[in-house]
Amino acid sequence: MNISIARIQAIFMKDYKEFSRNYAVSVMIFLPLILAFAYNKMGTNDIDAYFLPINLVFAVVTAYVQCCLIAEEKEKNTLRSLMLSPASLGDILIGKSLFVFIVTIVIVSLSIFLVGYEPANLFILAIALLLSSVFYIALGTLCGLFAKTIMEASIIVLPVMFIFSFGPFALTFASVYPVLDIAKWLPSAQLILLADALEGNYSSMDYIVPILTIIAWSAVAWLATGLIYKKRMVD
């Protein structure tokens, strides 16, 4: 695949300018920050509560914003213009994802700080968070590619946001409904399991399994995104 740093940078800068002037979407970044601040003030100090604003960042910032950015490109026919330019599939997908990736890192970091979470092993958790960002960006891109308008994107992304953000809560009912135990394989649930394990005496499998699970989700999501994008390139 032909990748050009200059083209990626051009798409990144364009997305930054568009996002900073699109208040309807950019305001969403404050939602997890407000929640993180409120949780801190409520004196929350368990992993599940810490990860509520963090998983919310992935849902309403990473997936939602990415979905809206892609859907808007489709709605206004700008994605078509980008596809007709010399920018390759890699240039467009990386360029469009880079901005949301950076925003996610900043907002996740701020949320961790605001909620007062001090991870026992920041390095391993950071790897898992970065990989989760990659997954949610793919998820947002995929939803955006299916949507024809921003309005449609906002609706398509809702169940996705709900399943992946609040999916871990389903585990609470797993003892009554064993089928819900499947929710533990969601990337958001794996993230919580990993963070939980890092707080105690953990073995290497305790972090390798969640990380591999998140990688697997990311690989499948990006593969699907690449295939759908290529389909959308043909009229």
Partner 1 sequence: MKSSQNRQRFGILTDNSGLYTRLSIEENLLLYSNLYHLPNTAVKEALDFVNLYAARKKKVSQLSKGMIQRVTLARAIMHKPELLFLDEPTSALDPVNTQHIYNGLRKLNDLGTTIFLTTHDMSEAEILCDRVAFLHQGKIRAIGSPNQLKKEFGDETLTVELTNGQCETIKNGAHDAQKLYDWMQSNAVARIYTNEPTLGDIFMQITGSDLI
Stretch that binds partner 1, among 13-21, 28-36, 144-152, 160-168 (CB under 8 A): 13-21
Number of residues that bind partner 1 (CB under 8 A): 25
Does 27 sit near partner 1 (CB under 8 A)? no
Q: Which is nearer to partner 1, 13 or 102 (CB)?
A: 13
Task: Identify the burial level of 210 via C-beta atoms within 10 angstroms of its C-beta, where 0-12 means exposed, 13-18 middle and 19 or more buried.
Answer: buried
Does 149 sit near partner 1 (CB under 8 A)? no
Does 26 sit near partner 1 (CB under 8 A)? no
48-77: contacts with partner 1 (CB under 8 A)? 76-77
Pairwise CA distance, residues 63 & 137, whole Å:
6
Q: What is the dihedral angle through the alpha carbons of 4, 6, 12, 18, rounded to the nearest 10 degrees?
A: -130
- Cα–Cα distances in Å, from 5 out to 2, 84, 98, 101, 192? 10, 18, 12, 16, 35
Distance of closest approach, residue 173 Cβ to partner 1, in angstroms: 44
Q: Which is nearer to partner 1, 7 or 52 (CB)?
A: 7
Does 206 sit near partner 1 (CB under 8 A)? no
Cβ-based neighbour number of residue 225 at 10 Å: 23
Q: Which is nearer to partner 1, 19 or 117 (CB)?
A: 19
Pairwise CA distance, residues 164 & 135, whole Å:
11
Does 78 sit near partner 1 (CB under 8 A)? yes
Are 214 and 135 contacting, i.e. CB atoms less than 8 angstroms apart?
A: yes
Does 84 sit near partner 1 (CB under 8 A)? yes
Q: Which is nearer to partner 1, 9 or 109 (CB)?
A: 9
Q: Which is nearer to partner 1, 4 or 44 (CB)?
A: 4
Does 176 sit near partner 1 (CB under 8 A)? no
Pick the binder of partner 1 from 14, 49, 126, 196 (CB under 8 A). 14
Distance of closest approach, residue 82 Cβ to partner 1, in angstroms: 8
Pick the binder of partner 1 from 38, 41, 81, 106 (CB under 8 A). 81
Does 232 sit near partner 1 (CB under 8 A)? no
List, as one string, the DSSP characters of 109-151: HHHHHHHT---S-HHHHHHHHHHHHHHHHHHHHHHHHH-SSHH
Pairwise CA distance, residues 150 & 143, whole Å:
11
Tokens of 225: 């995104």
Are 73 and 82 contacting, i.e. CB atoms less than 8 angstroms apart?
A: yes
Which spans of this chain sit near partner 1 (rule: CB under 8 A)?
A: 2, 4, 6-7, 9-11, 13-14, 17-18, 21-22, 76-78, 80-82, 84-88, 91
